[in-house]
Amino acid sequence: MKNRQFYILLLLLIAVTFTGYGQVFTQINDIAAPFSGTGSSNMATVSNALASFVNPAGLVRVDALELVTGFHKPYGISYFNSQIGVAALPLGKFGTVALGYHGSSTQYSGNTLASESAFSISHAFYLQKDIISTLSIGYTVNLYQIDYGQSAGPSGDGSDGINLGSGYGFGVDLGIQGSLHERSWIGLFAKNVNSPEMGSALSSSRLPRSLAIGFGYEPYYGLTTNFMIFQAIGNQKTQYRAGFEYRVLDWLVLRSGVNTEPNRIGCGFGINKWGLLMDYAFISHPVLPETHQFSLGYSFKKR
């Protein structure tokens, strides 16, 4: 039985690997504070509503309605912002579904120069679950929308320019998560496996695609270590990430991690009290200013 489970997982990993190679728009790796605080390394062990963005297979571990929203300005840039929102609901034997939103925009003098949005629906379910091991699979269907805003115009600030139009596209993400004794984890996530394009003819462009494989290990209760390899398709540089989460108290988690290309450090904390979820993350950069991330949510889990 154990050998069969191993071979099933291996075949799925190989299949996703080959379908993933073939890149929302701007690739933002720091999705939300609970992820960024570990150096964006905990894809294999993610178990909350945010799994919809980083590995939908992890949604199977959500055991009650969960709502999360987050906001940050990448690298502290005043005119650029990013927001996320997600709601995840377990449906018993039918798995878990989630509705999500991820958007970013660039603004100047009160005018939106460009905006990007991704509306998503995710579904995850167990392929195998017993007291020894688990294996789950999840997928996300994304509707991408981009608004190019207006040209600079006579005033030069975009307030009286020409409308530059908008575009739409659909992308599909696929995730796998497996565990052994709930102490060792493996996960794989492929972004935009269907090679979506936006536009037509000479103006068309392929949306960002990426492939990631991650590992997690819990040497003892309360401490989870993570390692992840991330590859953006079309980019020759592979990114390596490592981090940990340490549960100091039942309601307090500390996080830290690093990643390469570029070399950055992440750290932060999470508070889960009375169902209220509050998270903060700090992410450094070798050239650009640091990034501060915040997220807020609520879990309807009975305590």
Q: What is the pLDDT of residues 167-194, one digit of tens each?
A: 788 999 999 999 999 999 999 999 999 9
pLDDT value of position 25 = 53
In total, how many domains does the chain have?
A: 1
Q: Write the DSSP assignment of 133-164 as a string of letters.
A: EEEEEEEEEEEEEEE--B--TTTSSSSSS-B-
pLDDT value of position 81 = 87
pLDDT value of position 79 = 82
Confidence band for 158, pLDDT divided at 50, 70 and 90: low
Distance (Å, whole) CA 186 – CA 196: 27
Distance (Å, whole) CA 77 – CA 52: 26
pLDDT value of position 17 = 40
Mean pLDDT score across all residues of the chain: 85
pLDDT in tens, 62-103: 999 999 999 988 888 888 888 999 999 999 999 999 999 999
The CATH number given to whatever domain includes residue 153 is: 2.40.160.60
Choose the weakest-confidence range: 14-18, 236-240, 262-266: 14-18
Residue from 246, 239, 245 nearest 214 by CA: 239
Question: What average pLDDT score do residues 112-124 get?
Answer: 89
Question: What average pLDDT score do residues 116-136 get?
Answer: 95
- Rounded to two decimals, the pTM is 0.85
* Encoded amino acid at 94, one letter: F
pLDDT value of position 78 = 83
Helix (H) or strand (E) holding 13, with range, is helix 2-20
Helix (H) or strand (E) holding 51, with range, is helix 51-54
Q: Which residues pair with 247 in a beta bridge?
A: 253
251-256 contact pairs (CB < 8 A, 24+):
255/34, 255/37, 255/38, 255/281, 256/37, 256/38, 256/39
pLDDT in tens, 214-226: 999 999 999 999 9
Judge whether residue 147 has pLDDT over 90: no
Three-state DSSP class for 124? strand
Host domain of residue 279: 2-299
